[in-house]
Amino acid sequence: MVAGAQPTAGLSRAARVWDTRGVTAEPATRLPSDAAGAPTLDDLPLRDGIRGEHPYGAPQLDVPVLLNVNENPHAPSPAVVADIASAVAEAAAGLNRYPDRDFLALRADFAAFLAQESGVQLGPEQIWAANGSNEVMLHVMQAFGGPGRTALSFAPTYSMYPEYARDSLTGWVAGRREDDFTLDVDHARAMIAEHRPSVVLLTSPNNPTGTALPLEVVDAVAEAVTDGVVVVDEAYAEFRRAGVPSALELLPRHGHLAVSRTMSKAFSLAGARVGYLAAAPAFVDALRIVRLPYHLSAVTQAVARAALRHSTELLGRVHELRGRRDETVEWLRGKGFDAPTSDANFVLFGRFADRHAVWRGMLERGVLIRETGPEGWLRVSVGTEEEMRAFRDALDEVHEEVPAR
């Protein structure tokens, strides 16, 4: 057992309460249920689409090794922290005024970063940003989805997509990926022809499988969508292997194509909540219509711009994490597990007859991973060398008790 790990009896309530998807239901802050006159959710006039639903959220537990939400294990350096603090202090002096509503300086900084990272030249009018790529995606659904419209993706994929659809009153359809988690173009074309989606969501590298999409697949899907938009979610793009291109290269060919990114992963800024999107200027203008006024605070803009000034340093350990990811894939395969090649900072592995028992056994040894994806599979984020050693040791022990399928 990892030092500091707690036995099952010491687990918090959040580790014991599960919704039907196997994700912990985050306890809400509210009056005690026995308080006089305090309503329950069933007492409130919720709309039908969210009645019986639970808030999204992975378990947040105080254990020694946290490898469940694909965070970068390396915190920003003191120099980066100092620059961010200085930028925030400068922004704080003007907090009596609303922030720059269109944040053109930040958008120009993102364009410059993408030119350096992917070799694609974009103008600030082709960039959008919001509070995490989650909000960017919700803007897309608000602008192009809605009642009578349909969003399409291909499972297994990011579990928030159907929730974006639900929250924007958009219909949801999930196609399928192949057994090796690739996307069959003929199947994608058939789904598009049948459902005529207003929004198609492609994830590359895909979460939870780590699988990257070849550009020819993205190009074919974009060609097939004639009366909707296509968004390629590249939240983990900086972790892709050498030679794997970004869908940013296809933007000049398709005015209805967008590529979303985030600063939460490779930039080590999960706590800052900054995501962004690249697309044609008209696509970006559509998102400007649905955003809330002044949605990106002056403090958030200052943090993001400071971090971008240090992009070389912040991304400097991505190569190290790539190598550790590939080592993890090989180690898992050597142990007899299935583990698809990953272009992200996590690895999906299986297959287990009782994956929840494995998840629980890992947690009892102080290692928190994610119970997500197809039945029988688990996902582990790539952590530090010490954290991955703890993961391997714990899995070796658990595997003896709960064998793979």
pLDDT tens profile 251-294: 999 999 999 999 999 999 999 999 999 999 999 999 999 999 99
Band of the pLDDT at 8, cuts 50, 70, 90?
Answer: very low
The pLDDT assigned to 6 comes to: 40
Question: Which of 44-48, 87-91, 133-137, 215-219 has the least mean pLDDT?
Answer: 44-48
Confidence of residue 36 (pLDDT cuts 50, 70, 90): low
Question: How many other CB atoms sit within 10 Å of the CB of residue 185?
Answer: 17
The yes-or-no verdict on residue 23 having pLDDT over 50 is no
Lowest mean pLDDT among 38-52, 198-212, 374-388: 38-52
The pLDDT value given to residue 35? 56
What is the residue extent of each domain of the chain?
8-74+317-401, 78-314
> How big is the chain, counted in residues?
405
Assess whether pLDDT exceeds 90 at residue 381.
yes
Return the minimum-mean-pLDDT range out of 50-59, 97-106, 240-249.
50-59
Q: Is the pLDDT of residue 353 over 90?
A: yes
In this structure, which amino acid lies at residue 377? W
Cα separation, 374 vs 80, in Å, equals 39
Q: Given CA atoms 405, 389, 25, 49 in this order, what sign does their dihedral have?
A: negative
* Overall average pLDDT of the 159-182 stretch: 97
Instruction: Note whether 8-74+317-401 and 78-314 share their fold.
Output: no
CA distance 269 to 57: 18
pLDDT of residue 386: 98
Under the phi-then-psi rule, with left for phi > 0, alpha for psi from -120 to 50, and beta for the rest, what region is 148? left
Q: Is the predicted pLDDT of residue 7 greater than 80, yes or no?
A: no
In this prediction, residues 100-104 reach a mean pLDDT of 97
Q: Which range, of 2-11, 37-46, 186-195, 275-284, averages the lowest pLDDT? A: 2-11
The confidence band for 51, taking pLDDT boundaries of 50, 70 and 90, is: confident
How many Cβ atoms sit within 10 Å of the Cβ of residue 317?
16
Distance CA 116, CA 230 (A): 24
| Cβ atoms within 10 Å, residue 393 | 14
DSSP 251-294: GGG-TTEEEEEESSSTTS-GGG--EEEEE-HHHHHHHHHHSPTT
CATH topology of domain 78-314: Aspartate Aminotransferase; domain 2 (3.40.640)
Both tokens of 57, joined, read 């959220």
What does the pLDDT read at residue 401? Answer: 78
CA 139/CA 130 separation, integer angstroms: 9
Q: Distance between CA atoms of 364 and 68, rounded to whole angstroms?
A: 15
pLDDT band at 27 (very low <50, low <70, confident <90, very high): very low
Both tokens of 271, joined, read 């706590």
Over range 120-137, report the average pLDDT: 98
Say if residue 22's pLDDT is above 70: no
User: Does the structure show a pLDDT above 60 at 10?
Assistant: no
At the topology level of CATH, where does 8-74+317-401 sit?
A: Aspartate Aminotransferase, domain 1 (3.90.1150)
Write down the pLDDT at residue 31. Answer: 45
pLDDT, position 38: 83
Whether 136 and 260 have beta carbons less than 8 Å apart is answered as yes
Give the mean model confidence (pLDDT) for residues 45-72: 89
How many distinct helices (H) and strands (E) make up the chain? Answer: 12, 11
Q: Are 279 and 247 in contact (CB under 8 A)?
A: no
pLDDT at position 142, please?
Answer: 98
Mean pLDDT, range 11-34, rounded to an integer: 39
Higher pLDDT, 48 or 257: 257
Residue 373 has pLDDT above 90, yes or no: yes
CA distance 76 to 273: 15
| pLDDT score of 49 | 87
Mean pLDDT, the chain, integer: 91
φ/ψ of residue 166, rounded to 5: -55, -45
Enter the tokens of residue 386.
């010490």
Cα-based torsion angle of the residue sequence 136, 140, 145, 146 in order, rounded to the nearest 10 degrees: 50
Q: What is the pTM of this model?
A: 0.89
| pLDDT for the residue numbered 21 | 34
